[in-house]
Amino acid sequence: MNARLFRATGLAAAALASLVAIAILPAQEPASQPETKTPAPQPPQTLTSAHPNNAYWVEHDKQLLVDFGGLERFKEADVQLGAPAAGEDRVVFMGDSITEGWKLDQSFPGKPYINRGIGGQTTPQMLVRFREDVIDLKPKVVIILAGTNDIAGNTGPMTLDETEGNIASMAELAATNGIRVVISSVLPAYDYSWAPGLEPAPKIVEVNEWLKKYAADKGYVFVDYYSAMKDTRGGLPPNLSKDGVHPLPAGYAIMAPLAEAGIEKALKGVH
């Protein structure tokens, strides 16, 4: 075979190999390529909730996005309230729906007691609004009732340590600003209708034990609603609550003298 024929044969073999390689390529896994096409528009996401009362919780979740702490709720009322009069023993009740539903004018007629409860709130939400709704109102005493919605997970999962820390932060903010502190026990609850199966009863016992010790260590007043209201399951009995969480008038009738005694102790500097 001469050199020219050898070279021609080699070129033909190379061309054949190239054709075979090209034929095989489409069957191989393609390498990642940059996106050259605009992705198809996705349908808008619908805000949903796992809670049975879906409509309420959809609105609740929307509210968290625009005003997590509920600062707008009492903004105007706080301004209109103004400073306490000379010699006025103003008291602010800080809490969730249990406080919000408490008709203070009926339980404590003639007393300058201010209700700053917002239904559904957890302790981190209360902490956010504590300055506006408590400190800036210049009360002599604040009575804090919070924690059950933390256990229910109203603003997401929370540990008991986180709940206790938030209550401690509120109490310490008050004390730093010359406001005397009354810490309330969490009310008994065997179950939550909006978040069933969480078994809150033993968790509430644990939180209350911590709150009682914390109050004693810090020199705050502790008010024990729990012991006066619990049933054999560690919940609220039907004569005190329709849903096992929120007191009926009979429940508030038990709470009122306990709260009043706690407030009097705080005003006198007794704990």
CATH of the domain at 170: 3.40.50.1110
Question: According to the model, what pLDDT value does residue 52 have?
Answer: 54
50 lies in some domain: no
pLDDT for 84: 96
Task: Say yes or no to pLDDT of 247 above 90.
Answer: yes
| Residue 183 placed within a domain | yes
Q: Judge whether 25 lies within some domain.
A: no
User: Which residues fall within 8 angstroms of residue 257, CB to CB, at 6 or more apart?
Assistant: none
Distance of CA 176 to the CA centre of its chain: 24
pLDDT higher than 70, residue 18: no
Q: How many domains does the chain have?
A: 1
The tens digit of pLDDT for each residue in 131-149 reads 999 999 999 999 999 999 9
Average pLDDT score over residue span 88-114: 98
Any domain includes 41: no
Residue 46 lies in a domain: no
pLDDT at 54: 72
Position 64 scores a pLDDT of 77
Read off the pLDDT of each residue in 201-229 and give the average, rounded to a whole number.
98
- The mean of the pLDDT values for the chain is 85
Confidence of residue 65 (pLDDT cuts 50, 70, 90): confident
Residues 151-205 pLDDT 10s? 999 999 999 999 999 999 999 999 999 999 999 999 999 999 999 999 999 999 9
Cα(182)–Cα(177) distance, rounded to whole angstroms? 14
Give the residue-averaged pLDDT of 80-92.
96
Residue 225 falls inside a structural domain: yes
Range of the domain at 180: 55-268
- Closest by alpha carbon to 187, among 258, 129, 116, 124? 258
> Is 36 within the bounds of a domain?
no
Distances (CA, A) of 35 to 32, 38, 40, 84: 9, 8, 12, 65
pLDDT at 61: 74
- Is residue 149 situated within a structural domain? yes
Question: How far is the C-alpha of 257 from the C-alpha of 117, rounded, in Å?
Answer: 19
Is pLDDT of 32 > 50?
Answer: no
Instruction: Reply yes or no on whether the pLDDT at 120 is more than 90.
Output: yes
Taking residues 12-31, report their average pLDDT.
42
User: Percent of the chain having pLDDT more than 70?
Assistant: 79
